[in-house]
Amino acid sequence: MKTFRTSLLSTLTAACFLVMFSVQTVHSITSEISPSRIAVDSLYHGSSVVVSGETDAEDEIIIKFSSPKKEILLRKKGKRSGLLWMNVGELELNPVPDVYLVYATGDINSMLNEDQQDRFMLGYDTFRRVVEVTPVSGETEKEKWIREFLHFKEKNKVYGIVSGQIETQTEGSRKTFNLSINWPYQAPPQDYTVGTYAVRDGIVLDYKETTLSVEKVGALKYISDKAYNSSAAYGIISILIAIASGFIVSIIFKGGGGGH
Amino acid sequence: MYFYLPIALTSISLPLIVGLGLLVGLLSGLFGVGGGFLMTPLLIMIGIPPTVAAASDSLQIVGASTSGTFAHWKLGNVDVKMGIFLLIGGFAGGLAGVQLIKVLRMMGNADFVIKITYVLMLGIVGTYMFFESLNSLKKAKQANDTSQTKDTTSRPRKESGFVKFLKSLPLQTRFEKSGVTQSALLVIILGAFVGILAAIMGVGGGFLMVPVMVYLLRMPMHVVVGTSLFQILFTCIEVSFLQAYVNHTVDFILAVLLLAGSTFGAQIGTKLGKKLHGDQLKIILAMIVLVVTVKIMLDLLLEPSLLLSLKGGH
């Protein structure tokens, strides 16, 4: 009896894998990002990025740009003595990405069930369920601070959920898509994961992940390396340059300004 | 035209940042204040992280106050002796202030104490300076004084109890440039007092040092401006180095762009200052301080649009 049960279980498991595997192979989404590397130099002011690819004609598409998840510490404002607004302490959120930009062909809540939203961290509702917020007194306060956090990040242009920006074109059983965005200069230089998800019947059928590298280059990289790696020399040289420029301007001004 | 900043990690508009530098440099040359109490909040407002804003501003002040000190030096407006005594006091006060903040933080109400001290000090200093200079401007008009000199030392001084007390203090020292005799001990203590407050409020303290020199040390306004700049120069060199070395928050490019405006501003301010009477200078500074006070009070009373912010800054 026991062996029968075990063998039944293993057959079922195998069948499940087979189904999943066949879905994966039959269903395939392709995705390409251009450029895959953004050079940040002294005149950098954001960049345009295009993500394109194709999938099955019936699929909905979600494209997510995100940085690695970590804990973020912020200062929170509140009322003191019932009258004055000021910083009343710190708030920690964990795990959250620094940058989170999501583009979808429709409303994420009606496209995906909750489990799938949480698994792939898609949509703002998932933040309420998977992110720990400390210190909070209860669910209501947690929801309030999650809302404030999303508002704060959106103001900084590094969070956003946009529907309708992905352009699609259906040809027979396949659909091609194209998303063109202005990558915000507020997103700091680091590696970003770009996930492209094919969605149908409330679940993610297939997805592809690529990397978008935003890197400091040239003089900008040199200065920032010096600031972190040889900070004493960086400080002294900066001060000397500041003093020298103060003197130089004094002299230029005297020469050009006339009058006493 | 935009510039991307290597430490602040954000992009800023070139004319905006140079203009900001010019404005604050102008105030610096005119009044002998570093302008940190104006510049840092303005930088935060245009998207620079608070810690980077404060640190880069202190490097900018090094350049602007070099320019201003040099300009005032040539006019004979820098009392080096007084400046050094104030610096000694200020340095000790700064160290004490940092310890005091630690104690306040442990007691859990540091931010409350800091904000209230800030508003009270700005409010009291601004109001006092405003009415005092208004009064002396009125008196000057009534007297219809023929001598239109800018020297405020010519004002007759009452031998009040306070002055008698000052004269009874030990270590009476003659400060030639300022034309005053004061106790060296008093100068050091006042320097320390400003140092403590500056450390608590996280500002350079120019707007506190100027009234202290004018009203308590009885120095003429034009020497006050030059000496204050001299003192600020050294304080900011120390702060800039520590910020760069310990916190890595000095953005060299940001400071240079600000400097492009502020070093010129400081020169224009110094020239403009020569054309104004000491009391006129004081009343304008008083009005700026009062406007900043009102702005901070409104920030305290109105609900902010964002309830979260990055750590650091004032």
Ranges of each domain in chain B: 2-144+155-301
- Peptide bond between residue A184 and the one before it cis (omega within 30 degrees of 0): no
Was domain A27-215 assigned CATH 3.50.50.60?
no
Higher local confidence (pLDDT), A33 or A137: A33
pLDDT at A24: 46
Total beta-carbon pairs less than 8 A apart between chain A and chain B: 169
- E strand intervals along chain A: 30-34, 37-40, 47-56, 60-66, 69-80, 84-97, 100-104, 132-134, 159-163, 167-171, 174-183, 191-200, 203-216
Contacts with A41 (C-beta within 8 Å, 6 or more apart), sequence order = A216, A217, A218, A219, A220, B4
According to DSSP H, which parts of chain B are helical? 14-31, 36-45, 50-74, 80-107, 110-143, 161-168, 184-201, 206-211, 221-242, 252-275, 278-301
> What is Dmax (Cα atoms) for chain B?
60
CA distance B286 to B221: 13
SS3 A55: strand
Can you read off the two tokens belonging to residue B148? 């239109």
Q: ipTM of this complex > 0.90? A: no
CA distance B126 to B116: 15
Residue with tokens 């698994």, as numbered in its chain: A119
CB-closest option in A43, A75, A231 to B244:
A231
**Residues A170-198 pLDDT 10s:** 998 999 999 999 999 999 999 999 999 99
SS3 B307: coil
Question: Distance (Å) from the C-alpha of residue B132 to the closest C-alpha of chain A?
Answer: 30
Residue with tokens 């030990």, as numbered in its chain: B170
CB-closest option in A88, A149, A246 to B263:
A246
CA distance A164 to A198: 15
The torsion angles phi and psi of B149, rounded to 5 degrees, stand at -70, 160
Can you read off the two tokens belonging to residue A167? 């352009």
Nearest C-alpha neighbor of A75 from the set B49, B313, B310, B51: B310
- Identify the DSSP state of B129: H
The torsion angles phi and psi of A77, rounded to 5 degrees, stand at -100, 145
Task: Check: CB of residue A227 under 8 Å from CB of residue B9.
Answer: no
A74 contact residues in B (CB cutoff 8 A):
308-311
Query: Which chain A residue's Cα is nearest to B57?
Result: A242
Higher local confidence (pLDDT), A102 or B110: A102
Q: How many residues does chain B have?
A: 314
Query: Which chain B residue's Cα is nearest to A72?
Result: B310
Beta carbons of B244 and A250 less than 8 Å apart: no
The answer to whether residue B258 neighbours chain A at the CB level (below 8 Å) is no
CB-closest option in A44, A216, A247 to B70:
A247
Q: Is the pLDDT of residue A82 over 80?
A: no
CA distance B11 to B47: 9
**Residues B81-96 pLDDT 10s:** 889 988 898 888 878 8
Q: How many residues does chain A have?
A: 260
CA distance B194 to B121: 11
Task: Write out the H or E segment, with its range, that includes residue A219.
Answer: helix A218-229
- Identify the DSSP state of A181: E
SS3 A48: strand
Instruction: For CA atoms B237, B243, B246, B249, give the dihedral sign.
Output: negative
SS3 B312: coil
pLDDT at B210: 83
- Distances, alpha carbon A172 to alpha carbons A29, A175, B277, in Å: 15, 8, 84
Among A31-35, A64-68, A252-256, B69-73, the least confident range: A252-256
What is the band of B254 on the pLDDT scale with cuts at 50, 70, 90? very high
Q: Is the pLDDT of residue B147 over 70?
A: no
Half-sphere exposure of B222 (CA within 13 A, CB side): 23
**Strands of A203-216's sheet, edge to edge?**
A37-40, A203-216, A191-200, A60-66, A100-104, A159-163
**Buried/exposed A198-217: b ≥16 CB within 10 Å, e otherwise:** bbeeeebbbebeeebebebe
What is the band of A219 on the pLDDT scale with cuts at 50, 70, 90? very high
CB-closest option in B4, B68, B74 to A185:
B4
Instruction: Count Cβ atoms below 10 Å from residue A177 Cβ, excluding itself.
Output: 23
**Residues B183-218 pLDDT 10s:** 888 888 888 888 887 777 666 677 788 888 888 888
**Residues B24-58 pLDDT 10s:** 888 887 887 777 778 888 888 888 887 888 888 88
The answer to whether residue B301 neighbours chain A at the CB level (below 8 Å) is yes
Q: Is the pLDDT of residue B133 over 50?
A: yes
B301 contact residues in A (CB cutoff 8 A):
83-85
* A104 CB burial (10 A radius; 0-12, 13-18, 19+): buried
CA distance A229 to B147: 60
CA distance A215 to A138: 40
- Distances, alpha carbon A122 to alpha carbons A130, A187, A192, B129, in Å: 11, 19, 16, 58
**Range picked from A15-19, A129-133, A250-254, B55-59 for highest mean pLDDT:** A129-133
A188 contact residues in B (CB cutoff 8 A):
9
Instruction: Count Cβ atoms below 10 Å from residue B261 Cβ, excluding itself.
Output: 22
CB-closest option in A75, A216, A235 to B308:
A75
Interface of A with B in 93-132 (CB under 8 A): none
Residue with tokens 């992280």, as numbered in its chain: B49
The answer to whether residue B3 neighbours chain A at the CB level (below 8 Å) is yes
Question: Distance (Å) from the C-alpha of residue A42 to the closest C-alpha of chain B?
Answer: 5
Rg of chain B in Å (alpha carbons): 19
Average pLDDT in chain B: 81
What is the band of B154 on the pLDDT scale with cuts at 50, 70, 90? very low
The answer to whether residue B167 neighbours chain A at the CB level (below 8 Å) is no
Domain edges within chain A? 27-215, 221-255
